[in-house]
Each structure stands twice: as structure tokens, then as C-alpha cells.
Amino acid sequence: MRIVAISDSHGANKPVEDVIFEQTEAKNVFFLGDGIRHLEHLPDMFPDKQFFFVEGNCDFWSLHKTSDMVVLGGKKIFFTHGHEYNVKYGTKSLESAARSRFADIVLYGHTHIPDITYRDGLYIINPGSIARGRSGRNSYAIIDITDAGIVPNIIFL
């Protein structure tokens, strides 16, 4: 099972749509906030995909949750934008929240910096920003969940 994780589009629809179109194997798409109102058409545009949205600190007047949990492929995935966990100063609070929910994977955004960390049984994954990457390159993440385990990758655009 392939998952796509995208964050921080800040109104840039096209790169998000392009990634979803290109990632034909992915049936589950996570949007981790900041740009959500520009992407609410995606479930209609891609009816064969399942979408999971959380709002970010720039998603004013959104009715979406700021964090959520789902089980896919037998793995518990906690996902959030990250601003409520002060991720710009480290992931300790975020990791604690994920562990308290017995998550296998935590997805977050907010920093615009892609990162994959594995610590004590928990994958901590930030896809970076699809439109305003702080590393100088825009990015997203794919996560493959197989019988052999979890395989995350950052894809640079």
C-alpha cells in the first residue's frame, strides 16, 4: 500500500494535483495543512483516492481537525500540521503525542523542511513543502506499507 503525504501548498494547487496524478499506486493521500481551502476539490477530482486533511496555522476558518489518527495497512498513523507541537523547535512533543496513541507513523508539516527519522519504533516523517520548500527544493513524501515493513521516501520536485 502506498501513501502520499503533502504539506504546505499555500494555495499552489497544480503541484499537488500533479503529484496525485503521477502517484497512481497511491490510494491514500494525506494533506498536512496550510492551503487546505484550495484543495477541497481533490476528492471530486480523484474519486479513486481516499483523502485525509488536517488544518494548519494558516488555514483560517477551516472546519477540519488539527490532528487525527487512522489505521492503514495495519499501521497506526497519527497526522497533524505540527504547529501545536512546536515542531520548529524539535519533535519531542510530537513524538510524545504519537507514542501516547501507540502510532507506528507520525506525519507532520509546518517547518517546510523534509525529514524522515526513525526512533524507537516510530517513523517521524515531514514531507517538506510542496510549494515553498525551505531546503530550496519543493518536496513530498511517499510511504509504502508492505508485509516487510514501512518504507518512507522524500521525493524532490
Domain boundaries, the chain: 2-156
Q: Which one-letter amino acid corresponds to residue 69?
A: M
Taking the CA atoms of residue 144, residue 134, residue 130 and residue 51 in that order, the dihedral angle to the nearest 10 degrees is 60
Q: How confident is the model at residue 35 (pLDDT cuts 50, 70, 90)?
A: confident
Is the pLDDT at 67 greater than 90? The verdict is yes
Is the pLDDT at 51 greater than 90? The verdict is yes
User: Looking at the whole model, is its pTM more than 0.75?
Assistant: yes
Please state which CATH class domain 2-156 belongs to: alpha beta
Is the pLDDT at 134 greater than 90? The verdict is no
Q: What are phi and psi of 13, to 5 degrees?
A: -70, -45
What's the CA gap between 49 and 1, in Å, rounded? 12
